[in-house]
Amino acid sequence: MRRTITAFVLVFGTFASAMTLGAFCTYSTWASSRDPYLEWDTLARAFHELQTRYIEELDTSTLIYSALNGVVDSLDPHSSFMTPEQYKRFQEDESSSYYGIGATVQADDHGLRVADIIPGSPASRVAMEPGDLIISIDGTSISGEPFQQSAQRLQGDYGAPVCMGIQRGDQQRQVTLQREWIHLPAAMGTILDNDLGLLTIAHFREGASNEVKATVANLEAQTEHGLKGLVIDLRDNPGGLLREAVDVVDIFVGNKLIVSTRGRALGTTETLSGTDATDDIDIPLVIIVNRFSASAAEIVAGSLRDLHGAVLLGTPTYGKGSVQTLRVFEDGSALKFTISSYYLPGGEPIPPKDGLLPDITVMDAEELAYEELVEGLIRQVDADAIIDESSKKQLLNLLSSTQKPLVPRQLSRRWSPPPIGRRLESDIQLARAVETLRRQLGQ
């Protein structure tokens, strides 16, 4: 009997001690970081109040989507929530193919200005050219219509016809063509003199690395004594798939660490390396970058500089050194959020605000014109005898700190460029890159 009582006392004492310790830990946790379910309760109550008492009847999905947008907006600029309609457009934008006419366009007060024509597309077969103005679509004038609305009307179902009014100078004509499956090329190549090549990479979507390899092989075949040097143009390249970027770097570096990712959750930390191959290309590289070279383009530029000694020329890159994952929900909406950061072979991340700094800074013509405008205004203010000194100081400080707005430049003729001679005359950065490459080779 005494043994039974002793055992009971021991068990009860252990249980009581555990309960006391558990209660203490629970209280300590609540006191230090609060119970997250209290916030969920607040959110639910707020939703109930709005749904039952707001002056107008509210749609539940609209409230939920708006709440999710608010949550994601408080994170980094690369995370986003997409409604089903937005996610569908996102998928179309991310694809390297679409149904359309094969022309890139930009906004114009009187319609859509053709910026580039994709070779072999319906637009090329009806002799459309960069600079043409699309003034009507299917008999309706698009003058003054929102750009996105007009541009979307050029896309449609496979084989569906579209009639457009085209203006070139003072001449107008009507063309009718059928929409086709349009592929946006990832890589374009041009041979320069003295066995030098120019490789333009437009994006890193699915299949991009294979296109780059084929383009480099084609350039090699066009040379007399083999490719001696290469200028890689990554300007305005928004990035794409990490694996495609790694495979492009692998063409030049062999079995070396190309990039690593580091995150908080399980499976978000990894290292990606190249592979040794007999056809690895060991030639001098000059890479042109600008403020719209982002993500995968920055990985290619930074890794080739670290591992291959490539020279970066142009202006600082965008500064997107993070990895996003995509979660698609049952209603068709999607959440894109950051899970890790990129680290270059040297162990440093891509600076999120400054981007990669080029070895040789060369502004394009548009940026130079902007700089000259600001400098001219500074000289005018400084020489003005009417403005009082206090106001003059404020104006000078404002002008000195002014930066060029981060807005996309005019679409370039990427898929139907003019002859290389004309490009070298008008493209300051390209001309300087070729000059730098020739100097490296002693030409």
| Residues annotated as part of the active site | 295, 306, 320
Core vs surface per residue 96-106: b (16+ CB within 10 A) or e:
bebbbbbbbbe
SS3 350: coil
Contact 341, 323 (CB under 8 A): yes
Q: What is the CA radius of gyration of the chain?
A: 29
Fill in the DSSP letter of residue 351: P
Question: CA of 22: how far to CAs of 1, 11, 145, in Å?
Answer: 32, 16, 66
Fill in the DSSP letter of residue 240: B
Annotate 303-341 with three-state secondary structure: HHHHHHCCEEEECCCCCCCEEEEEEECCCCCEEEEEEEE
Question: What is the end-to-end Cα distance of the chain in Å, rounded?
Answer: 104
Contact 413, 202 (CB under 8 A): no
SS3 113: strand
383's CB contacts (< 8 A; 6+ apart) are: none
Report d(CA 67, CA 388) in Å as an integer. Answer: 50
Q: 201 pairs with which residues across the strands?
A: 187
CA neighbor of 342 nearest in space, from 307, 301, 296, 304 = 296
